[in-house]
Each structure stands twice: as structure tokens, then as C-alpha cells.
Structure 1
Amino acid sequence: MNSAKFKFEKLHIWQDAMELGEVINKLTEDFPKKEMYNLTSQICRAVDSVALNISEGAIIQSKPEFRKFLGYSARSLAEVVTCLHKANYRKYISEDKFEELYNSSFKLMNMLIAFRNKL
């Protein structure tokens, strides 16, 4: 991302959160229509919240305030993982896709926590 002007755009956690958000958003296109206002909406809002809180916390915030926003991101990511479990239980996604997204989420969670602890 060569044209990054905002501090948060350079953060790997933000970049990974953005990518995960797009993958999950695309994935939900195949969820049943009955889930549009339930699981589909919930997982999309939660996954978008991960990147949104990183960016909000990075701009004109103190380190304690940024840590707080990173905590919000981690909580949203935990919500994403729970939604992935729901989608897997309901057979909306394959076991392989679940494992892939679960592992991506786990890696991102560890990165979020490590970054937060270094602030």
C-alpha cells in the first residue's frame, strides 16, 4: 500500500482486518436469504467493526485510548469467530472454509493482542 497517507493504513493488523472483511462479506452472499437480517448482517457488521475500530483508535488518540479501541476490535473479532461457528453448524460454509477463516481470525487476534500489548 504505497499511497497510504493515514497512519492506520500502514498497520498490518488493519490491512489484514480489511482483507478478512472482504472475504467474509463475499462469503455471506451464499448464505440463505432467511439469514439476511440475522447471521449475515451480524457477521458483516462484526467483521467490519474490526478494521473500523483499529482506524478510529489510531487517529488522534492517546495510547490508552488506542488500546481501548484495539480491545473493541478483538471483541468484534471474537464475535466473527462465533458467527463462523454458527455458519458452520448450519452448513452454510464448508469445513475447509471454516478452518481457513478460523485460522485467519486466530492469527489476526494474536496480532491484535501483541500490538495492543506493545503500545
Structure 2
Amino acid sequence: MALVKYHKELKVYQNAFAAAMLIFEITKTFPPEEKYSLTDQIRRSSRSVCENIAEGWRKRKYPKLFENKLIDADGEASETQNWLDFALACRYINEEDYQNLITKYNEVLSMLTSMIINSNQWTFSQAKSPKN
């Protein structure tokens, strides 16, 4: 694994950011009556995935906090998929865009799960005290 210094270097962050930007572009076409509901909610949750990854990255010194932020990112990615289900059901997005975004978020979810399971590879190792 290559040394990653900044959260923006993480593939999971890059993928989540790209998906959030795609959602931003697609939601520009949502009807005005959805502005304060579906549009705001899906934009918020998709951006929150990135925010939680970034915040978690800065908390790598504390493994449980790091894991919690990744778990939060996982929840936001799942929420985003839920909003995509509604957008498709309301016919605000087409099937191709829906499938593309669902696939992107499944990949993000898979990467987050792997990072959570293997969090010791991402966090700072704590110095062990000598046994007495």
C-alpha cells in the first residue's frame, strides 16, 4: 500500500467526490418543488460521505474515532442510494444514471467496509508499553 498523506489521495474519497459532483449536476434538473426535500437531501448525504472520510482521516491517531467516521460515511452512502431509489421512482433520473450511481456507491461502500475491517492498516500504531 502506497503511503497516503492526505484524504484527497484516497481512492474512496476520490470516487465519493466524483459521485457527489455527478449527483449535483443531475439534481439541477429536478423539479423546483423538490428543492427543499429530495434535492437538498441527496446533495447533503452525498457530500457527507466525503466529509466523514476527510474528518476520519484526521482522526487516525484514534482508531475507534477513525472507524466511527468511516461508519458514518458508510451510512451516508447508503442514504444516498436510498434517495437515488426515490429519484428513479419519481422519474427524475433515468435508469442509466441510476445504475451508474448505484454502482459507484456500491464501490464506495465496499472500500469503506474494507477500510473499517482493516483499520489497523490505516491508523497510527500506538507505542506498546514494555511488559513488567
Same fold (TM over 0.5): yes
Counterpart in the other structure of 2:32: 33
In 2, the alpha carbon distance for the partners of 1:60 and 1:95 equals 38
Three-state SS of the structure 2 residue aligned to 1:30 is coil
Q: 1:79 offset after TM fit, Å?
A: 0.5
Q: 1:93 offset after TM fit, Å?
A: 0.5
Q: 1:57 offset after TM fit, Å?
A: 0.8
In 1, the alpha carbon distance for the partners of 2:95 and 2:89 equals 10
Three-state SS of the structure 1 residue aligned to 2:36 is coil
* Counterpart residue type for residue 9 of structure 1: K
Mapping for residues 15-26 of structure 1, pairs under 5 Å = 15-26=14-25
Aligned CA-pair RMSD: 1.3
Mapping for residues 98-117 of structure 1, pairs under 5 Å = 98-117=98-117
Q: 1:60 offset after TM fit, Å?
A: 3.7
In 2, the alpha carbon distance for the partners of 1:17 and 1:63 equals 22
Query: Quick check: which one's helix share is greater?
Result: 1
In 2, the alpha carbon distance for the partners of 1:78 and 1:16 equals 15
In 2, the alpha carbon distance for the partners of 1:7 and 1:111 equals 17
Deviates more, 1:58-67 or 1:18-27: 58-67
Off by >2 Å, runs of 4+ in structure 1: none
CA contact (8 A) 2:59 2:65 kept: no
Percent identity for Structure 1 against Structure 2: 27
1:85 aligns to 2:103 (yes or no): no
Q: Which ranges of structure 1 fall in alignment gaps of 5 or more residues?
A: none
1:13 aligns to 2:50 (yes or no): no
Q: 1:6 offset after TM fit, Å?
A: 5.3
